[in-house]
Every structure is written in structure tokens, then in C-alpha cells.
Amino acid sequence: MDYIAFMLRGVWAKKTRSIGLAFAIAFAVLIVVTLDVTSSSLEQSAAAIMSVGKSNITVVQKGVADVLSSTIDQGELTKIRHVPGVTSAVGVLVGTEKINANNPVFIEIGINPTDLAAFGVTVVAGHPYGASATNQVMLGWRAAANLGLHVGSRFHALGTWNTVVGIYSTGNAFGDAGAMFPLPAVQGYNRLPGVVTLVFVKVVNGSSPRAVNAVVRRIEYAMPQLTTITTATQFGRADQTLVYLEAAVTASSVLAIAIGAVIVGNTMLLSLFERTREFGLLRAVGWTRRRLIGLLLGESLVLALVGAALGVALSFAAIAVLEHIPSLAGVLHATFTADAFARGLATAVGMTILGGLYPSIRAARLVPLKALSYE
């Protein structure tokens, strides 16, 4: 019989046990892949917020639970503007509000109209609001399209009705799906007078990494309570939630492999006891220890691949459910990356290899004569 066919026959011989083991592997893969996809999606959402201002550097309060909890006062903003090498520093207050069931996490940006150009805002219809205007708003063109609003429409946000005076574009999908208000209006609604959430900094010769790094060092030296972000990989410096979530992904992978290895090991040992005479016969007819180990590990890998595929399929369903949870809707836009699939496959293979190694070696060390007389 062909070696591969012999391997598959071994898997299929105990269908119930093999299916149960495949589902155990699938559950581990489901947890790991779902956490990985959720983590990367939330990081992308944070990156989208950071990239709205088209800046070289984003300045955030250090050690906050999430970037939207950051608070930077007017004095700190002024100091940043006077740092050598800074051409502009735009302070914005970013908040979220539930507008309706389809927009449970609607982004609201408070920004002075004099900073719109430096922030990368282009008014495509109407005009900007006044610096101290009340009950005026500009909608991103995506938000206007989604809500069916236009210049002159009434829009309920910040606890009151506002007149849409302009439609804007930032070239950023996340920013264009939100709204902009006069900074004092958002500060008043959130009871944060004189405070901004983020500062978007543009640097002289910002295309030069050396120039950007020089400004980063000056800002962090002058204001150690603040931190700077220049790339997506640095979000953890400001957003502790992302750090904890990434740690949870790693921990879940290790835990899944450890627990899964025990389950696979116990199942394989039970199989060994049931197939002792079969393995003894294979050794008696000339099978080498290496060939027998390869057979058992191969059976484990077949189950690992089946379990991994099933786990990924289940994770698609789990993510679809998570995307409709009110607290995550509008923020969690899941993208299944190659990294998520690789992590799931590594988990499945790791747990089956570790779990199947000892039973395989034990089977290979069987003495043919004793194994054939085993009852």
C-alpha cells in the first residue's frame, strides 16, 4: 500500500476520534486567528485616525489606555509649535458618538478653521465654519453620502442640532467618514476646555528621516509626559490597549499549543495502545523506527491541516458576529492577513507535533515480538 494512503487509512480508521481531535485543533485555531485579526484590525483603525492629519509626527499623551483618551493642554501645544524644525502643529480633539444604529462609533473632530489647510482638509462644497461658531458642522463627503445630507441640512450631534455649512475631503477614508466642528464646541461638549487629544506635526524637510527623528528627540526631551508616533508599529507607545491585545494574542498561541499538545498526546497514546500489534507487525516486516515515527507524525499533520482549515472557517463566522457588536461596529473592519493564517497554521502544527512526538517515539521503540503478542 502506498505510504500516504496507509497514513490516511490510519486517520480514517478511527473516524470519531479523528473528528474530535480535528475539532479540538480547530477550536484552538479559531481563538488564535480571531484574536490576531481583531488586534490587527483595531491597530489599523488607530492608524487611520493617526493618518488623517497627513503629518510627519503625531504627538500623544504617554501611557493612556487608548489614543482617544489622550489629553494635551494649550501650553504643551504652544511648546510643540516652538520646537526647532516644526513648521506646523495642529491640535485636534477627537471624540466618538453614536449617531444611529448604522453609525454607532461616529468620529467627531474638533479643529480650528485656521488649521484646516495644514491638516490637509479640502472643502469641496459650501464653506468652513467660523472659529467660534455655534451649531455649525462640516461633514466628510463619505459621511454626507452615508447619511444622505448636504450643505444646508440639519445634523444632530454634540447634543444639539447643527447646520451643515460645508462638505470636506481629507483623502483618508476614516477622516472622510466623520465630521468636523469648531474646536471650542467639541471641548465644551466633552467638558475639556483648552484641551486637545492629538497634535499633528509637520517638519521642515519632512521627507528626511533624519530631520523627523531630530524633531522627535526635541519634543520628547522637552515634554517627557508626551510620546511621538511616526509609524504604525509605534502605536503601543501610546495605546496600552493595543499592547495588551497583542500580548493576549501571543499568550493565546502559546497556551493553545500547550493545551492542544496535551490533548493530542493523550489521543495518540490511546491510539498507540489500540494499534500496538499493528505497529509490531510493521516493525517485524522491516519498517524502520524513522519510517514509523514519520507515519504517526504524518497522521497528526493531516489532522492539523484539517483542523486549521476548519478553525479558519469558524473564525470568519466569529469575526462576522464581532463586527455587529455595538461597541465594535464601525471600528472593527476585519481583514484576514497572511500573518493571521500563518499564526493559525503554526498553532495547529505546533500542537500536533509536540503532542504526537512522544507517542510516535514510543511506538518506534516497540519490540516486534512483544508487540505482536500484545492483547
Q: Tens digits of per-residue pLDDT, 73-100?
A: 999 999 999 999 999 999 999 888 888 8
- What pLDDT is stored for residue 63 in this prediction? 78
User: What mean pLDDT do residues 258-265 have?
Assistant: 81
Instruction: Give the pLDDT of residue 77.
Output: 93
Q: Could you say which of 229, 259, 286 is where a domain stops?
A: 229
Domain boundary among 229, 258, 285: 229
- Look at residue 339 and tell me if it is in a domain: yes
d(Cα 198, Cα 53) in Å, to the nearest integer?
10
Task: Tell me: do 208 and 86 sit in the same domain.
Answer: yes
| pLDDT tens per residue, range 277-334 | 777 777 787 778 888 788 788 888 888 888 888 988 888 888 777 767 665 555 566 6
> Is 263 found in the same domain as 215?
no
pTM: 0.64
Task: Check whether 43 has a pLDDT greater than 70.
Answer: no
Q: Which residue has the higher pLDDT, 245 or 264?
A: 264
Q: Which helix (H) or strand (E) holds 200?
A: strand 198-203
Q: What is the pLDDT of residue 351?
A: 84
The DSSP code sequence of 50-91 is HTTT--SEEEEETTBSSGGG--EEHHHHHHHHTSTTEEEEEE
The widest CA-to-CA distance across the chain, in whole angstroms, is 94
Considering the domain boundaries, does residue 236 fall inside one?
A: no
pLDDT (0 to 100) of residue 201: 92
Tell me, yes or no, whether 17 and 63 share the same domain. Answer: no
66 within domain boundaries: yes
Q: Has residue 338 got a pLDDT over 60?
A: yes
| Residue 139 pLDDT greater than 90, yes or no | yes
The reply to whether 316 falls in a domain is: yes
Residue (of 320, 299, 362, 365) closest to 22 by Cα position: 299
Looking at the fold, whether 107 and 190 belong to one and the same domain comes out as yes
Nearest to 129 by CA among 102, 107, 149, 109: 109
Residue 332: its pLDDT value, please? 62
212-232 residue pLDDT tens? 999 999 999 999 999 888 876
Q: What's the pLDDT score for residue 152?
A: 93
Rounded Cα gap, residues 239 and 70, in angstroms: 9
Q: Which of 12-26, 122-136, 237-251 has the highest mean pLDDT?
A: 122-136
Q: If you average pLDDT over residues 331-338, what whole number do you get?
A: 68
Same domain, 251 and 156: no
For residues 154-176, give the mean pLDDT. Answer: 89
pLDDT, position 123: 94
Q: State which of 64-68, 318-322, 345-349 shows the largest mean pLDDT.
A: 345-349
Distance CA 115, CA 92 (A): 9
Q: Name the strand (E) or helix (H) holding 126.
A: strand 122-126
Residue 173 lies in a domain: yes
Q: Do 186 and 280 fall within a single domain?
A: no
| Residue 184 shares a structural domain with residue 61 | yes
pLDDT recorded at residue 5: 74
Is 340 in the same domain as 225?
no
Both 19 and 115 in one domain: the answer is no
At 250, phi and psi to the nearest 5? -65, -45
According to the model, what pLDDT value does residue 298 have? Answer: 83
pLDDT band at 133; cut points 50, 70, 90: confident
Nearest to 304 by CA among 353, 363, 249: 353
Mean per-residue pLDDT of the chain:
81
pLDDT value, residue 345: 84
Same domain, 158 and 208: yes
- The verdict on residue 194 lying in a domain is yes
Of 187-201, 238-252, 309-323, the one with minimum mean pLDDT is: 238-252
Does 51 reside within a domain? no
pLDDT-derived band at 166, boundaries 50, 70, 90: very high
Tell me, what's the pLDDT at 327? 57
CA dist list (Å): 63 to 66, 140, 226, 241: 8, 30, 9, 10
For residues 136 and 19, membership in a common domain is answered with no
pLDDT at 339 over 70: yes
Domain's final residue, options 170, 201, 229 = 229
pLDDT of residue 75: 92
Q: Which residues contact 263 (CB under 8 A, 6 or more apart)?
A: 21, 24, 351, 355
Is position 333 within any domain?
A: yes
Which of 33-37, 44-48, 53-57 has the lowest average pLDDT? 44-48
Q: Can you tell me the distance from the alpha carbon of 50 to that of 358, in angstroms, rounded to the nearest whole number?
A: 50
Task: Judge residue 185's burial from the number of C-beta atoms within 10 Å of its C-beta, 0-12 exposed, 13-18 middle, 19 or more buried.
Answer: buried
Share of the chain above pLDDT 70, in %: 84
Domain that holds residue 332: 3-45+242-372
Whether 171 has a pLDDT exceeding 70, the answer reads: yes
**Scanning the structure block, which residue is given the C-alpha cell 466618538?**
96
Q: Is the pLDDT of residue 164 over 90?
A: yes
Pair 185, 334 in one domain: no
Check if the beta carbon of residue 219 is closer than 8 Å to that of residue 83. Answer: yes
- Per-residue model confidence (pLDDT) at position 238: 57
Q: How far apart are CA 228 and CA 29, in angstroms?
A: 35
Q: What pLDDT does 48 receive? A: 61
Grid cell locating 215: 524633531
CA distance 93 to 181: 10
User: How far apart, in whole angstroms, are the C-alpha atoms of residue 278 and residue 292?
Assistant: 11
How many separate domains does the chain show? Answer: 2
